[in-house]
Structure 1
Amino acid sequence: MPTRRSLTVVVGAVLGAGALVTAFPFAWMVFGSVKPRSESVAYPPRVLPQHPTTEYFRQLFQELDFGRYLVNTVAVVIIGMAGVVLMAMAGYGFAKFRFPGREPLFFLVLVTMMIPVQVTMIPTYLILNGAGLTNTLLGIALPGLVSGFSVFLFRQFMSTVPTEMIEAARIDGSGEARIFFRIVLPLSRPILAVQAVLAFIAGWNSFLWPLIVADDERLYTLSVGVSLLNRQIATNPSLQMAAATLMVVPVLAVFVVFQRFVVQGFTMSGLK
């Protein structure tokens, strides 16, 4: 018993030290975002700010147009969230419906997971350009609307929904839309949370595609704005840390809120 307790203490100490090392860059970023420039370039450096200030966050929104970048990013995320429902419908169809060609179609969905995004960027751009959607927020968001990996996750999870429950609803006279929205989706809350987090992260961190498809700087997302900031103002670490904090904190907040559902969703989807 003492040996086991000692081992628990040692493991806990090692994990705690690892957590502190991992969290230190994040803490440095957050504290650096509220430091005056004189403190951010001081030597030796200090972790905690002596005279905290929010002037750099105000500068981002008042002088550097980050308010517009934030609105663009939120719009891309909202459009991406609509794709979660579409992918849920596709996963439900593959899981619970029998139709000719179901297995070959699902195989094609899996094949798309093996194709790098960079390979499809040129044909995607040409399609959107032909549709007149380049240099628009819709054109930025559309390629991320669906993903083969997400359809696969939905299919795996919805395969666990009891078929008897669906058949009973059909016997009671419920239509397919009612069954999907009133029965299947409520039972799929864990995997919906997983996909919502993944869609949020993908939309929030979108960088390369907005840079390619948007010529107008007013359509840039936050990640593109941070990249421009690093090239234009390379002598103010506090301003750069403020922009990085604006990018990272919302993602961490969303993950912390949905963490329990994310773990549950991956576990129940059959992923080890």
Structure 2
Amino acid sequence: MVGSKSRSGSRRAIRYTLAALLLLVMVYPYLYMVLSSFADWTQIDKQLFPTNFTMKSYEWLFSGGEAGVTRPWLNAFLNSVIVSAASTALMMLFGIMVAYALSKLNFFGRHAINNFVLFHMFFPAIILLVPTFLIIQRAGLYDTYLGLIVPKAVSLWAIFMYTNFFKAVPSVFIEAAKLDGASDLKIMFRIMLPMSKSITTVIFLFLLMERWTELLWDMIAVKSDSMLTLNVLLSQMFGPYGSYPGPLYAASTILTLPIIVLFLIFSKKFQEGMQFSLK
């Protein structure tokens, strides 16, 4: 009896040790980036764990560097917030509306549209890059917020995820609501959406992360410094500022921090939504 307990305890200790090592391997790159952003410049990329810390990288970042050229970091951050928030809100709005129609309404062509959504998901987005750019340019939206937001306003993945979830919702709820005189819009936002909080959290975080880190479209859709997003500004640093790793780590930390914070806030709902999506 004692021997079996000791063996069980040993196996548990081994599992915890392996889990801790795996977690360290996964977290270390981000931890290294954050520590390096605060590290003394003489220790950056020379030690696994810096020991001397300073705010020099962040001061350099926001002061314009050696050349004294003002880099619009705050403006770029605000651009990223505006563009990402608007695009994510539109993607989720259209995702909910289209998914509700595909899953709960009967109309001609529903199956064809559903198949088109599935078929289109296999197309690389880069195929439509040039036509989208030409449309935006001829519509007069080049170098504007709308030019950054509108092409990213629809997510087929969000439609697919919401459609699968709504199909699992019993139609009796919708029929009861319609008997009470509720419209389809009211059913969508007062019945279906509250019931889908967990999957909505997953969709929201993935869409926001995807839009927040978008680089290619943000690079070609604007030309003025005042319209640059934070990730484009960061990518430009690898040219003239590539010899300053400290500020690069600092800028990368700023770029990833909002996503980490949002994930920590919605972690419980995110886990519940992932459990459903993996069923």
TM-score normalized by the length of structure 1: 0.92
Distance 1:176 1:105 in 2: 19
1:70 to 77, 80, 102: 77
Q: Find the counterpart in structure 1 of residue 67 from structure 2.
A: none
Matched-pair contact (CA < 8 Å) for 1:31–1:49:
no
> Aligned partner of 1:56: which letter?
S
Distance 1:157 1:85 in 2: 15
> Aligned partner of 2:212: which letter?
W
Q: Find the counterpart in structure 2 of residue 172 from structure 1.
A: 180
Aligned-pair distance for 1:257? 2.1
Distance 1:216 1:14 in 2: 50
Q: Find the counterpart in structure 1 of residue 127 from structure 2.
A: 119
1:30 to 34, 47, 70: 34
2:89 to 50, 75, 82: 82
User: Structure 1: which 5+ residue stretches go unaligned?
Assistant: none
Tell me, yes or no, if structure 1 residue 54 matches structure 2 residue 55: yes
Aligned-pair distance for 1:11? 2.2
Q: Pairwise mapping of residues 124-163 of structure 1 onto structure 2 (< 5 A)?
A: 124-163=132-171
Matched-pair contact (CA < 8 Å) for 1:141–1:203:
no
> Aligned partner of 2:149: which letter?
A
**Divergent runs of 4+, >6 A:** none
Percent pairwise identity: 28
- 1:29-57: CA deviation from partner (whole Å, max 9, x where unpaired): 1111112323326x5x261342x322332
Q: Pairwise mapping of residues 1-272 of structure 1 onto structure 2 (< 5 A)?
A: 1-2=4-5, 3-40=7-44, 43=46, 45=47, 47-50=49-52, 52-63=53-64, 64-83=71-90, 84-269=92-277, 271-272=278-279
> Aligned partner of 2:253: which letter?
T
Distance 1:146 1:73 in 2: 18
RMSD: 1.7
Aligned-pair distance for 1:215? 1.5
> Aligned partner of 1:101: which letter?
G
Distance 1:162 1:209 in 2: 40
User: Structure 2: which 5+ residue stretches go unaligned?
Assistant: 65-70
